[in-house]
Homo-oligomer: A and B are copies of this chain.
């Protein structure tokens, strides 16, 4: 079904590339209606244009709040060109058709970025624009709606191909984009209100994103994939890639897992190495070089080909160490020039500056088919005041610091999680097992294999309580001297007894950290 365009209503804040459209409208003798800045721009560019107030015979009022919210405009858009009684009503009223809408919305999101004045933010919630766009999109059977300059070229092509007309397929595609935009726009407005009012779990929740890029494929080559972004305050992820191939789905997934852990330590130089979304090494150290070396030593076999994240600027020494093996991605808060130069010799290695990442996020969402689970981020480690020293021997202040490190890293390992550490470095990580004993065994085996000497007097953390004493016995047998866990099992007594028998220290945090 082709439709000719008689009248077009144009109202855009971004005027670039508009003249290309104006030229083609002129060619097909399409009458243009506009107002304000757009009207002036069109006239100045040498095209004919009618003022909206002239078209409606109604002067805009309330500082432009009411301008297009007029029956003449909306009848012109919404009447069904195939219905006789619609045509008769339009004729009787002498209303004219409006067949093309080119509209941008007030820049609500942009205003948020640069503004704290609430009145100004609210003034930038567009009412007229979304109404025009929604009306035109609803009536795509007869009307074309263009919501951004990215579609100017396809509009021009479509009009040329059909000599001033458009095809239904084109109009429907534009309508789908229009509703994508209106839901996105209102989602941003809605989130702004929710944040402002501290509403964490609104009755209706929308999560929205702009497509950042289509990825080569998804988690596997036979799955298509894309990455989307939505931020009230900025337009990018904050990942500044300065070397290497494009990022894959699995890269992003591992990057997110790594950053989640990395951002839990704000002060001490820390390195996180991730493989398959689980950490295989985490180490904090005053020396950035030791932080890197220790994280790698935790499980050098798994670390090969992994994702490395550093919360510090990488210098030449660290870069040389990195270059000795193969990593898929290196992320850091900046790079010394000579370090960068050296690392860039590995053409494929993705090097990413994360200085501009947002380190504070509040909610986590998990989706399944038609539903999603929304929860607050797990943002605490434990409350020192609530620690219970349940064994006869109590840990020292220094050991409490180590306990805190071990328990914090454990929070990010997929449950059931056991993490053994020494001197703020992981030495054994047991991840993702269906029972706790298996996680204990894996953590112990790793430590024994790669750094057995560090096992002596090491600290172990468990993300949830030990249901039996078998798990802690496994840990104790390999040299662990301090265990931190939430506590709360009906067999806590039995577990504490085993700890006392082995003369080790055990601390209950009261805080569980499942992470699946």
Once the chains bind, are B211 and A208 in contact (CB under 8 Å)?
no
For A437-474 the 0/1 string (1 means CB < 8 A from B) is 11000100000000000000000000000000000000
Determine which residue in A183, A194, A221, A306 has the highest number of CB atoms from chain B within 10 A of its CB, and name it: A183
Give the residue of B215, B234, B368, B373 whose beta carbon is less than 8 angstroms from that of A225: B373
Give, as a whole number of angstroms, the nearest-CB distance from A127 to chain B: 5
Q: How far is the CA of A371 from the CA of B173 in the complex (A)?
A: 25
Once the chains bind, are A516 and B210 in contact (CB under 8 Å)?
no
Q: How far is the CA of A435 from the CA of B438 in the complex (A)?
A: 16
Give, as a whole number of angstroms, the nearest-CB distance from A366 to chain B: 7
* Chain B residues, CB < 8 A from A306: 434
Give the residue of B70, B134, B190, B432 whose beta carbon is less than 8 angstroms from that of A278: B432
For A351-380 the 0/1 string (1 means CB < 8 A from B) is 000000010010011111111111111101
A244 on the interface (CB 8 Å rule)? no
A346 on the interface (CB 8 Å rule)? no
Give, as a whole number of angstroms, the nearest-CB distance from A66 to chain B: 5
Give, as a whole number of angstroms, the nearest-CB distance from A340 to chain B: 25
Give the residue of B127, B212, B237 whose beta carbon is less than 8 angstroms from that of A131: B127
A301 on the interface (CB 8 Å rule)? yes
A264 on the interface (CB 8 Å rule)? no
Given contacts A130-B134, A226-B374, 17 further A-B contacts (CB under 8 A): A63-B86, A66-B78, A127-B131, A127-B138, A176-B197, A180-B202, A183-B185, A206-B206, A206-B209, A207-B208, A212-B371, A222-B378, A225-B376, A278-B432, A278-B433, A280-B434, A365-B367
Once the chains bind, are B230 and A370 in contact (CB under 8 Å)?
yes
A152 on the interface (CB 8 Å rule)? no
Q: How far is the CA of A46 from the CA of B65 in the complex (A)?
A: 36
For A481-516 the 0/1 string (1 means CB < 8 A from B) is 000000000000000000000000000000111111
Q: How far is the CA of A169 from the CA of B50 in the complex (A)?
A: 43
Give the residue of B66, B93, B372 whose beta carbon is less than 8 angstroms from that of A207: B372
Once the chains bind, are B190 and A187 in contact (CB under 8 Å)?
no
Give, as a whole number of angstroms, the nearest-CB distance from A332 to chain B: 19
Q: How far is the CA of A231 from the CA of B190 in the complex (A)?
A: 20
Once the chains bind, are B205 and A176 in contact (CB under 8 Å)?
no
For A153-190 the 0/1 string (1 means CB < 8 A from B) is 00000000000000000001101110111111111011
Once the chains bind, are B206 and A207 in contact (CB under 8 Å)?
yes
* Chain B residues, CB < 8 A from A364: 367
Tell me the number of copies of this protein.
Answer: 2
Once the chains bind, are B207 and A277 in contact (CB under 8 Å)?
no
- A470 (CB) vs chain B CBs: closest residue: B301
Give the residue of B177, B237, B442, B516 whose beta carbon is less than 8 angstroms from that of A219: B516
Determine which residue in A215, A278, A431, A514 has the highest number of CB atoms from chain B within 10 A of its CB, and name it: A514
Once the chains bind, are B376 and A369 in contact (CB under 8 Å)?
no
- A176 (CB) vs chain B CBs: closest residue: B193
Q: How far is the CA of A62 from the CA of B81 in the complex (A)?
A: 11
* Chain B residues, CB < 8 A from A184: 204-206
A80 on the interface (CB 8 Å rule)? yes
Give, as a whole number of angstroms, the nearest-CB distance from A262 to chain B: 13
* Chain B residues, CB < 8 A from A318: none
Q: How far is the CA of A137 from the CA of B185 in the complex (A)?
A: 14
* Chain B residues, CB < 8 A from A209: 204-206, 371-372
Q: Which segment of A32-40, A248-256, A309-317, A400-408 sits at the interface?
A: A248-256
Once the chains bind, are A228 and B374 in contact (CB under 8 Å)?
yes
* Chain B residues, CB < 8 A from A514: 219-220, 250, 276
Q: How far is the CA of A221 from the CA of B464 in the complex (A)?
A: 12
* Chain B residues, CB < 8 A from A437: 301
Q: How far is the CA of A277 from the CA of B366 in the complex (A)?
A: 12
Once the chains bind, are A433 and B434 in contact (CB under 8 Å)?
no
Give, as a whole number of angstroms, the nearest-CB distance from A506 to chain B: 20
For A324-357 the 0/1 string (1 means CB < 8 A from B) is 0000000000000000000000000000000000
- 17 contacting pairs across A/B (C-beta < 8 A): A65-B74, A65-B78, A150-B203, A183-B187, A187-B206, A202-B211, A204-B210, A215-B373, A218-B378, A219-B375, A224-B375, A230-B372, A253-B373, A253-B516, A276-B434, A280-B434, A431-B433
Q: How far is the CA of A370 from the CA of B175 in the complex (A)?
A: 26
Once the chains bind, are B204 and A211 in contact (CB under 8 Å)?
yes
A416 on the interface (CB 8 Å rule)? yes
* Chain B residues, CB < 8 A from A278: 432-434
* Chain B residues, CB < 8 A from A228: 205, 371-374
